[in-house]
Structure 1
Amino acid sequence: MTTTLLIRKDRLQDTRWRTEDDRPLANGQVRVAPDLLALTANNITYAAFGDSMDYWKFFPSNEEGWGVLPVWGFGHVVQSLHPGVAVGERLYGYWPLADGAVLQPDRLDATGLRDAAPHREALHPVYNRYVRTGADPLYRGSDEPFQVLLRPLFTTSWLIDDFLADQDFFGVRRVLLSSASSKTAWATAQLLAKRPGLDVVGFTSPANKAYCERLGCYTRVLAYGQLGEVAADEPCVYVDFAGNADFRKAVHERFRDQLKYSCAVGGTHVQHLGGGAGLPGPRPALFFAPAQLKKRTADWGAEGLQQRLVNSWRAFAAQQDREPWLQVRSHRGRDDVQAAYTQLLAGRVDPSEGHVLTLR
């Protein structure tokens, strides 16, 4: 039996559980039990942009109007009809928010495999790759919860920092970040803070302002209502992790031509999502991390890219070891998992906490 959380695509607060018999595996398939999954603001972005960015297509629900939320995490193989994948093997990757998943492994090597399920063929390959923990340079068994919470977010942050540096920060020295308490924004700010001469300004809710200041990576932390405290006559770029259309409009109207680049990374403020057409200054772009990943793979080769990312991740993880800022909160079973999703969607989650899920 497999239990899956279903989410109404047009009313993300509506959820229900579905339990169904496992279908028999075909030759070449494997069944995995995802057993440690992360739930972060990143997942709310997946739901908010589920149709426009194809996130609902990774794990089709086969029920009209309902979607299955993709989540990052670890799982172990419980059944295998593929000669190259052993029962008990541990994999890191992209799973449905469920206690079971079927993969069709392809392009196997010592480091991992690809899911070659036909419905995923046209979807971006970065989400179809599964890493074998036994050959993973980022893996450390003792800190799986930290990895499952921050690894995909850190990769996005690393690519944002790299993209901005690759563009010479569009000729500016000030970067504005919304949703400053979110883990992706925080990791981005940590990386940007290492760039000499950058003014990194984080915006957050009044309730999270003190927390963001304690992180130590922002030059300044301001509440959303304090936008007017940033000089309008100095050039800047805006990286939007919240997706709040009202604040995006305020940023564009304040800085106008002094805003040299504006991009959206996430959509955690789901009640305030909106487009960017007709705003002063540059048209907001959607930052799609896999595109920068593809560019850097071409620039440096797969091994060169991986080594740079590994080195940066290790430095980031070492900082967490020295100055822990993230408290892991575990949720087990249907009711607890469902409640964690509901609270995150409503924005009622302490930013200092990271939430990991186990269904069984």
Structure 2
Amino acid sequence: MDITQTRFEVSKATLQDISAQVMKVDQPLLAGQVLLAIDCFSFTANNVTYATLGETLRYWNFFPSGDVAKGIIPVWGFADVLASCCASVHVGERFYGYYPMASHLVVEPANISVHGFVDATHHRKSLPKIYNQYTNTETDPLYRADAEGLQMLMRPLFTTSFLLADFFDENDNFGAEQLVLTSASSKTAIGTALLLQAGKLVQEKRTHLVGLTSSANKAFVESLGCYDQVQSYQELAELNPKAASAVIDFAGNGQLLSDVAQHLADKLTYVSLVGVSHWDNRQGLEPLSIVPKPELFFAPTQAEKRLRQWSTAGFYQRLASAWSQFEIFSRAWLNIETYVGNKEIEAVYQRVLAGKQSPDKGYILAFSKDALS
């Protein structure tokens, strides 16, 4: 194996510090190993969350950089088998999955089936299984060749939405009559709201869904129609302080969460921490004295429970059914933009990190134009 690999490394201490490392990789594949060529991937605020919580939730451990001060951010995308020393995984097969922000990845497939495999590389064995699964596009019920961009962008976010909505449904919305979602323009929040609304129709629940967002994004969020009420952050006083309320916090802004909790006071029943859209304000979460104490929602925990209860086939059947409706919904408002090459990849990274992306846009990144042909 003699290839030139490109990978992006970021400073764990200063996320703005990112650089493309180009290096020769000439060691041969070992028995059982497979070389994947990653041709394109999405980049969203979800990936910033991976970096922000890299130490806490071990996201840095998936693709070690070899330098303890630097990390490689995980992304979701597609890759083709470039070389294989594994009899059951063949050159040319295409897999959707969790990849490094890099052009290549060596994996050790295990639990191989027509549906895909699990990477059994030693350092990944103790990490959440859902991130180690690679799905063969030939048998993937969610895959369409003409919708790869949408799948890269929205499938990982929607999977979190699916699991989060399931978690709240399982717990009867924690007794809430009013469910408040911060950073309501984020794609994960939108997916969650859509699923919660669908659940209300099926189960005749009367929970009032409120989306909190910036003034600039308020009109966009209202146009989606998946919230019962949309308020800007400056309009917190419009929240009903007399209704039992739960909060799903996608923003990660400690001051905002504190203000919401203060307004709802003893009517607050539950606070779920999901994303960190406002990653630079996350430090404000640490000293919060909110009652009840906010709890971190870790999607893989809910996923692994449902995989056991529903079986792998049952889990993905339910996800695929929900996804088909969300795909139709998202096509009406999501604009996908594609960027190619190291400089453009870095520019998009900085834009998303700074929170300057429009909520109706999604970014697909590729190392070369050939990957998009």
Q: TM-score range by the shorter chain?
A: over 0.9
Contact 2:254–2:288 (CA under 8 A) maintained in structure 1: no
- The residue number in structure 2 matching 1:103 is 107
Offset of 1:80 from its aligned partner?
1.0
The counterpart of 2:337, out of the listed 329, 332, 335, is 329
- Of the structure 1 ranges 14-23 and 140-149, higher mean CA displacement relative to structure 2 is found in 14-23
The counterpart of 1:245, out of the listed 238, 241, 254, is 254
- Of the structure 1 ranges 255-264 and 138-147, higher mean CA displacement relative to structure 2 is found in 255-264
- Of the structure 1 ranges 68-77 and 272-281, higher mean CA displacement relative to structure 2 is found in 272-281
- The residue number in structure 2 matching 1:349 is 357
Contact 1:276–1:283 (CA under 8 A) maintained in structure 2: no
The counterpart of 2:13, out of the listed 2, 10, 13, is 10
Distance in 1 between residues matched to 2:96 and 2:172, nearest whole Å: 34
Contact 1:252–1:279 (CA under 8 A) maintained in structure 2: no
Offset of 1:302 from its aligned partner?
2.4
The counterpart of 1:292, out of the listed 288, 302, 308, is 302
- The residue number in structure 1 matching 2:371 is none
Is residue 330 of structure 2 the alignment partner of residue 320 of structure 1?
yes
1:22-75 CA-partner distances (Å, limit 9, x unpaired): 132111111111112010110010011011110001000001311000000111
Contact 1:255–1:281 (CA under 8 A) maintained in structure 2: no
Distance in 2 between residues matched to 1:304 and 1:265, nearest whole Å: 25
Computed over aligned residues only, the root mean square deviation of the Cα atoms, in angstroms, reads: 1.2
- Of the structure 1 ranges 332-341 and 207-216, higher mean CA displacement relative to structure 2 is found in 207-216
The counterpart of 1:303, out of the listed 287, 292, 313, is 313
Contact 2:258–2:288 (CA under 8 A) maintained in structure 1: no
Offset of 1:301 from its aligned partner?
2.5
1:53-107 CA-partner distances (Å, limit 9, x unpaired): 1000100000131100000011111111111111111000000001111111111
1:207-250 CA-partner distances (Å, limit 9, x unpaired): 11111111111111111121111121211110011111111111
Supply the AA of the counterpart residue of 1:83. A
1:240-297 CA-partner distances (Å, limit 9, x unpaired): 1111111111122222321111011111211100335552321100001111112222
- The residue number in structure 2 matching 1:143 is 147
- The residue number in structure 2 matching 1:230 is 239
The counterpart of 2:161, out of the listed 140, 145, 157, is 157
Contact 1:37–1:74 (CA under 8 A) maintained in structure 2: yes
Distance in 2 between residues matched to 1:278 and 1:261, nearest whole Å: 14
Offset of 1:314 from its aligned partner?
1.1
Matches within 5 A, 1:259-274: 259-274=268-283
> Could you tell me the TM-score, scaled by structure 1's length?
0.97
Q: How many residues matched?
A: 358
Distance 1:273 1:306, change over 3 A: same
Offset of 1:353 from its aligned partner?
0.4
**What SS does the aligned partner of 2:138 have?**
helix
Distance in 1 between residues matched to 2:122 and 2:219, nearest whole Å: 48
**What SS does the aligned partner of 1:138 have?**
coil
Contact 2:34–2:86 (CA under 8 A) maintained in structure 1: yes
> Could you tell me the TM-score, scaled by structure 2's length?
0.93
**What SS does the aligned partner of 1:37 have?**
strand
Unaligned runs of 5+ in 2: 369-373
Distance in 2 between residues matched to 1:163 and 1:273, nearest whole Å: 24
1:118-153 CA-partner distances (Å, limit 9, x unpaired): 111111111001001101111111111001100011
Matches within 5 A, 1:166-185: 166-185=170-189
